[in-house]
Structure 1
Amino acid sequence: MSKIDAAALTADLIKCPSVTPVEGGALVLLEQLLSQASFACQRVDRGEVSNLFARWGDKGHAQTFGFNGHTDVVPVGDEAAWTKPPFGAIIEDGVMYGRGATDMKSGVAAFAAAAIDFVRETPPDGSIILAITGDEEADAIDGTTALLDYMDAQNEQMSVCLVGEPTCPNEMGEMMKIGRRGSLTAWFTFKGIQGHSAYPHRAKNPLPAMAQLMHMMASHELDQGTDHFDASTLAVVTMDTGNPATNVIPAECKSAVNIRFNDVHSGQSLIDWMQGLVDQVQQDTGVEIEMVSRVSGESFITPPGALSDLIAKAVTAETGLVPELSTSGGTSDARFVQHHCPVVEFGLVGKSMHQVDENVPVAQIHQLKEIYTRILRDYFS
């Protein structure tokens, strides 16, 4: 039987308009392909989200290698700004264009193709699990978390997992992710008393309270970094009043901050710190402040060891580069997988992800498949 062309599969997936949470035909395509290769497939849909669980080999085997990825993509944006059809998978000068070309239909295609060819050519003494979600780019509530809930209920267990997100900043093979920073967003509402700007003593202006609190947060050094993490960061992401009149002191204003934090902190410790500042500013100004917060994920790390060594060895063999072990970047579904088993991320160069004319060199897709194939061969050997 002929091998699976990972680039052709990428093109087929790009042509599925799977903007979160629309399935778009991508998981249907993968389920058909994997079923033909004797993978036991199960749709694990929850809410509006479609997910696919696929396993080759006996359930509960001590050696079970897992892949995780997503077929959903971010919206196209201004379609008129694209020079190629966003869902056309057009190839020009060896480069494939389309939404999801980098993030991350090429990664899913590469590990699906590697897994299928591997079990057909050299059936391993073990199992391979593919956990593919349609809800990574949005709230990620009913995506990989639903797959992991399903696996727990069915006593399905991955020994280790590789998430196929783009991880390389500029050159294929230069970086892998062994952890991620946590992410926390907090929204603040400042409530004063509206009045005439010529008579400020008759009003209670919430704006100075907002400015004071945002300055206290933004100017504070959270930490200086740790062995595996850069320093945590806090960014003020919005400050709004909605007040068009210069002779009116508004009754209310709003702001928000986003914190990317390392393993010095937990989401709760940062919430407690912010609440302390809120209490202080309320006392100083008399302005009522409400805070609502959401932790998208805690920081985590898979300590360097057998899994990272396995992946690094395969990357070096195929690219000639020794990948840096990094925890940089935003969040990924690895934050959920890390509660299930050791997890590492490795994938393509991510420079064009989420951009207009998102693209991937076709040669990189084939190279990524070879890396994943080598990882499987080395793991099961």
Structure 2
Amino acid sequence: MNSCGTEDAGALSLAQALIRCPSVTPVDAGALDVLQDALLGLGFGCHRIAFGGGDAGALVDNLYARLGSRGPNFCFAGHTDVVPPGDTTAWSVDPFAGMVIDGRLYGRGAADMKGAIACFVEAVRRLTDGGKCAPEGSISLLITGDEEGPSVNGTRRVLDWLGERGERLDACLVGEPTNPQAIGDMIKIGRRGSLNARLTVLGTQGHAAYPQLADNPVRHLVRILAALDGAPLDQGTEAFQPSVLTITSVDVGNPAANVIPASARALFNIRYNDLHTAASLSAWLERQCEAEGCRYELSCESSGDPFLCRNEALSQTVAAAVERITHRRPEFSTSGGTSDGRFIKDSCPVIEFGLVGASAHKIDENVAVADLETLSQVYRAILADYFGQAP
């Protein structure tokens, strides 16, 4: 038994065992050992692949596991890394104890997304009768420890590794917490792009009493930000919300009220739809800065352009299973932040469905124990439908 502790094969006990591993990015803390033990017991072949170290960034442990050798290969993807718990004294429970109180499982990662990973495993256990019955094709799990961090040495590197081995994924479901209020509310069929920008306006320092002898960068920065924030980028598209620019920081670092500073900085993020690319938005930002006629430095970094799952068969398979189990007709959506789906979409059709995400990343993160059972049933139904097996 590993240091995190495992009990039986149910989704709840596995979720608890995973939560008890304090796997804050990029530390694994035994979480993948827990998962691998469960998968080996079902007959999966498991590969642990570590990437990074030195100049390549933090060393990240990843797991690829596969049951079966024939196609098609249906992949469950997710991450065992979690965000820090924050002030642990503000939690009503130990964030890494995996406690159940009044029918709810508490702990960092319960919603995002150790609970869903446990449901992956439970669904496979039920479909294969504990590993006794082989699937019609293959079922795989691609699990990283680098989703909540820089996402450099995780899913993207594993996909490269799979390509080098000639291994193919035919469809993928990412278990991110997609539902706003109840299981069955929402399926993510794509994601918006995300662009982070850092703008530094350069001026000339001087005395506040003699502004004509200086070049105040704050005035330039305020006008640029007003232009960026003033008009909507677009009105949205059929599948995507309107793009939005959010100013996240304005910093001068000037403690003296009578001194005009030499520079002023701002950070902002753009969540954008399929009317734009990172390159087109970077060029637009440059034009807005140029129009002010000041000296500036602008750096932009994209974490991924928008994407949309256009595989109707996959989206309808997932939707039908969700509706059959939950009696809710799920909304197809592209809202929210980014996910590792942005890497997987280059390898195969990808869709996202998981637990309720209202408490993700918050103090007292939790999910209903009943939702773990429901999600396990949904995942099993998706597999059965995908492989054409009896429900």
Equivalences, count: 374
* Aligned residue identity for 2:209: A
2:145 corresponds in structure 1 to 134
- Contact (CA 8 Å) 1:186, 1:292: kept in 2 or not? yes
Offset from partner CA, 1:103-156 (integer Å, 9 cap, x none): 000011100221233232532221111000001111111111111111111111
Q: 2:113 aligns with which of 104, 110, 115?
A: 104
Read off the aligned partner of 2:241 and give its amino acid letter: D
Q: Name the residue aligned to 1:206.
A: 217
Give yes or no for contact 1:34–1:116 (8 Å, CA) kept in 2. Answer: no
Summarize the alignment of residues 1-381 of structure 1 with structure 2, pairs less than 5 Å apart. 4-47=9-52, 48-58=59-69, 61-119=70-128, 120-281=131-292, 283=293, 287-303=294-310, 305-381=312-388
Partner SS state of residue 60, structure 2: coil
Q: Which amino acid aligns with 2:306?
A: S
> Over residues 331-376 of structure 1, what are the superposed CA-to-partner deviations in whole Å (9 max), with x where a residue is unaligned?
0111111011000000111100000000011110111111101111
Shift of 1:190: 1.0
Structure 2 stretches of 5 or more lacking a match? 1-6, 53-58
Find the aligned partners of 1:89 and 1:212 in 2 and give their Cα distance: 50
Distance 2:42 2:127 in 1: 10
Determine the C-alpha separation between the residues in 1 that align with 2:144 and 2:117: 10
- For the residues of structure 2 that align with 1:229 and 1:190, how far apart are their CA atoms? 33
Name the counterpart of 2:4: none
In 2, the alpha carbon distance for the partners of 1:357 and 1:62 equals 41
Once the 2 structures are TM-superposed, how far is the Cα of residue 279 of structure 1 from its aligned partner?
1.5
Other structure's SS at 2:110 match: coil
Instruction: Quote the offset at 1:274 in angstroms.
Output: 0.5
State the AA in 2 paired with 1:113: E
SS in 2 for 1:103: helix
Q: Please tell me whether the aligned partners of residues 4 and 117 of structure 1 are also in contact (alpha carbons under 8 angstroms).
A: no
Cα pair 2:189 2:309 within 8 Å, conserved = yes
RMSD: 1.2
Conserved in 1, the CA contact under 8 Å of 2:311 and 2:349? Answer: no
Q: Could you say which residue in structure 1 is the equivalent of 2:3? A: none
- Measure, in 1, the Cα distance between the counterparts of 2:378 and 2:291: 54
Q: Deviations over 1:161-192 (max 9, x none)?
A: 00000000011101000000000011011111
Residue 257 of structure 1: CA displacement? 1.2
Secondary structure class of the residue paired with 1:368: helix
The amino acid of 2:225's aligned partner reads: M
Cα deviations by residue, 1:47-73 (Å, 9 ceiling, x for unpaired): 111100001111xx3311010000000
The gaps in structure 1 that reach 5 residues or longer are none
Cα displacement (A) at 1:3: 8.1
Q: Percent identity?
A: 47
Question: What secondary structure, in the 3-state scheme, does the structure 1 residue paired with 2:173 have?
Answer: strand
TM-score by length of 2: 0.94
Q: Please tell me whether the aligned partners of residues 104 and 166 of structure 1 are also in contact (alpha carbons under 8 angstroms).
A: yes
The answer to whether the 8 A contact 1:158-1:341 is kept is yes
- 1:257-290 deviations in whole A, cap 9, x for unaligned? 1000000001100001111111121x2xxx3100
The whole-number CA distance in structure 1 between the counterparts of 2:132 and 2:381 is: 13
For residue 12 of structure 1, give the secondary structure of its aligned residue in structure 2: helix
Q: Secondary structure at the match of 1:173?
A: coil
How many Å apart are 1:40 and its aligned residue?
0.9
CA distance in 1, matches of 2:136, 2:352: 24
Q: Residues 3, 320 of structure 1: CA spacing in aligned structure 2 closer, same or farther, 3 A cutoff? A: farther
Question: Residue 56 of structure 2 corresponds to which residue in structure 1?
Answer: none
Contact 1:160 1:341 in 2 (8 A): yes
Distance 1:24 1:341 in 2: 30
> What TM-score, normalized by structure 1, do the two folds share?
0.96
Structure 2 CA distance, aligned partners of 1:62 and 1:16? Answer: 34
Report the AA paired with residue 38 of structure 1.
G
Partner Cα distance (1:227, 1:253) in 2: 38
Q: Secondary structure in 2 aligned to 1:45?
A: strand
Letter in 2 for 1:220: A
Q: CA deviation at 1:304?
A: 5.7
